[in-house]
Homo-oligomer: A and B are copies of this chain.
Amino acid sequence: SEARKTITATLFPGDGIGPEIATSVKEVFKAADVPIEWEEHYIDTKVDPRTGSFLTWESMESVRRNGIGLKGPMTTPIGKGHKSLNLTLRKELGLYANVRPCLSIPGYRTRYDGVDLVTIRENTEGEYSGLEHQVVSGVVESLKIITRQASKRVAEYAFHYAQQHGRKRVSAIHKANIMKKTDGLFLQCCREVAELYPDIVYEEVIIDNCCMMLVKNPALFDVLVMPNLYGDIISDLCAGLIGGLGLTPSGNIGENGLALMEAVHGTAPDIAGKNMANPTALLLSSVMMLQHLGLNEPAEQIHSSILKTIAEGKWRTGDLGGTATTTEYTKALIDNL
């Protein structure tokens, strides 16, 4: 038999329920015989002077070297001047696009059936510039920065993604009727890229109207691309349509194929260590990781097992109305592989 190539991937189990749900992923990968070897990194308890955050320099280097990683939830310690760990990762690794597929889980009932859309969020600038100051007492301002370079890059990624995934429509979400210059530049970049994809329908939708249409009829949308804050808002709204962040994967994409997939839900400290957490969002993120690496067979196998296990209903975790433990659900997933 051929020697199989093993891929090394960085794993940030994170904290709170992170280690438990990461264990679930590791076990499922092992059972499915996925050719991935993990390099595990944890958050430090003190700031690493080389990164200026609780993320160690070694862990960042690991992602850069491997070009691929998976991340559980992390709590940024509260206190003066601690930069958000999530934002630090995105910024330092140049993860310019945040991709969140939002797909109904047929076995899990919400008010919406058959949701199937993808939000692609500019992940580095906009309202997240961090530039703020007090003008005079009682008057503060924040700067929203939009650049041609970052807008073009995320627009290119969105259209490329749409094409690769056989999707038909890209909607750019904006408020350019009010922020004519910033959102206007963002739209201009989207239009330029849209020209290169004549087979993909391109449209522009104002964010308030977009949110109204999403709750009325999400089937109107396919791929949505937008500046940072709108992406933050709309991706959570979309997650809500299918049941919440516990069921939604997410990926952060950088240059040269660099990708860090992550579960975007919280660390749920109240249930941490109790074998109660739902690993689905991290598992679906690991499926995205496999797809990104071109490992479509195990990706499909694991994805089907997740849908099947949730549909069967017997081994659902508490957040989905069941009573299964994390390990019971994981075992059921493995049995259904």
Which A residues have a C-beta under 8 Å from some C-beta of B? 84, 110-112, 127-128, 132-135, 137-149, 175, 177-182, 184-185, 207-209, 211-216, 229, 232-237, 239-241, 243-245
What is the CA–CA distance of A207 and B207 in the complex, to the nearest angstrom?
14
A150 to chain B, nearest CB (A): 10
- A215:B212 contact, CB within 8 angstroms: no
Which of chain B's residues has its CB closest to A213's CB? B240
Smallest Cβ-Cβ distance to A179: which chain B residue: B142
List chain B residues, Cβ under 8 A from A209: 236
Which residues of the partner chain B approach A177 to less than 8 Å between Cβ atoms?
A: 84
A148: which B residues are within 8 A, CB to CB?
A: 137-139
* Distance in Å: Cβ of A89 to nearest Cβ of chain B: 15
Contact of A181 among B133, B185, B232, B236 (CB under 8 A): B133
- The answer to whether B211 touches A236 (Cβ under 8 A) is yes
Beta-carbon contact of A180 and B146 below 8 Å: no
Cβ–Cβ contact B132 & A180, under 8 A: yes
Q: Do B185 and A212 touch across chains, with their CB atoms under 8 A apart?
A: no
Report yes or no: A140 in contact with B244, Cβ–Cβ below 8 A.
Answer: no
How far is A243 from B213 in the complex, measured between Cα atoms in Å? 10
> Which residues of the other chain, B, contact A181 by a CB distance below 8 angstroms?
132-134, 140-142
B237 in contact with A211 (CB, 8 Å): yes
Distance from A153 Cβ to chain B, minimum over Cβ atoms (Å): 12
Contacts of A143 in B (CB 8 A): 141-144
When chains A and B are docked, how far (Å) is the Cα of A146 from the Cα of B143?
12
- B residues less than 8 Å from A214 (CB atoms): 237, 240
| A182 with B111: CB separation less than 8 A | no
A145 vs B229: C-alpha distance in the bound complex, in angstroms? 16
Picked from B141, B211, B243, the residue with its CB within 8 Å of the CB of A144 is: B141
- Contact present for A140 and B211 (CB under 8 Å): no
